[in-house]
Amino acid sequence: MSNLKKIVFPAAVLLVLGLIASSAWAGDVKGKVTAQGVRSPENIAVYIDAIPGKTFPPPAQHAVMDQHHMAYVPHVLVILKGTTVDFTNEDPFGHNVYWPAINRNRKLAHNMGTWPQGISKPFTFDVLGVVPLLCNVHPEMSGYIIVVPTPYFALTDKEGNYTIKDVPPGKYTLTTWSEEAKPTTQAVTVSAGIANANLTVKR
């Protein structure tokens, strides 16, 4: 075996073992969000607001926000900062996509225009916060994109349950966003296995 192979092979083995160990130690954050004074505990975003010392490149795969049966689908889409979203139209008529602000900053308002069925338009979201989606053609349509700082997030189901998978071990802060309730935060400690964290949000 050449000297180069003697150096490269052990390094590759150590890298693989390190990745396996990191994956093995990752845990899931699981719990339930109780909503007080709001219609439903569904579609509440729950995310880890920071992983100290780590930054996260945006995914190569695009997220999708569809317009179907005169509604934004999904109604709430959570994405990592820097993600590109493809806005599609499955309805047999034109739709418009615009947002009046990002995180209440009206300088970040944007109108993507109106396009017919079968067309898709991309947009990359580089600013953290809430993006309220509207349609100039159909004012009853609304949706939300929530741009978060880490890839560790989830949306609650109809009962308020959520699971954030493969979180590295450590102590973090969970943050919520809801269309009707005020944001709330809660500390969570993650190790191998499941970390339980139940939260309550209020109008």
What is the tens place of the pLDDT at every residue in 163-201? 999 999 999 999 999 999 999 999 999 987 889 999 999
Asked if residue 79 lies in contact with residue 150, where contact means CB atoms within 8 angstroms, the answer is no
The CATH number of 1-51+154-203 is: 2.60.40.1120
d(CA 195, CA 137): 45
Domain residue ranges of the chain, discontinuous segments joined by +:
1-51+154-203, 57-148
pLDDT reading at 19 higher than 50: no
Over residues 18-45, mean pLDDT: 80
Average pLDDT for 87-91: 94
CB 24 within 8 A of CB 192: yes
Same fold, 1-51+154-203 and 57-148: yes
Q: Please, what is the Cα angle at 155 between 150 and 157, to 5 degrees?
A: 160
Q: 57-148 architecture in CATH?
A: Sandwich (2.60)
Residue 34 has pLDDT above 80, yes or no: yes
Per-residue model confidence as pLDDT tens digits over 43-61: 999 999 999 989 999 999 9
- Tell me the three-class secondary structure of the chain, residue by residue: CCHHHHHHHHHHHHHHHHHHHHHHHCEEEEEEEEEECCCCCCCCEEEECCCCCCCCCCCCCCEEEEECCCCEECCEEEEECCCEEEEEECCCCCEEEEECCECCEHHHCEEEEEECCCCEEEEECCCCEEEEEECCCCCCCEEEEEEECCCCEEECCCCCEEEEEEECCEEEEEEEECCCCCCCEEEEEECCEEEECCEEEEC
pLDDT at 33: 96
* Summary mean pLDDT of the chain: 88
Mean local confidence (pLDDT), 15-40? 73
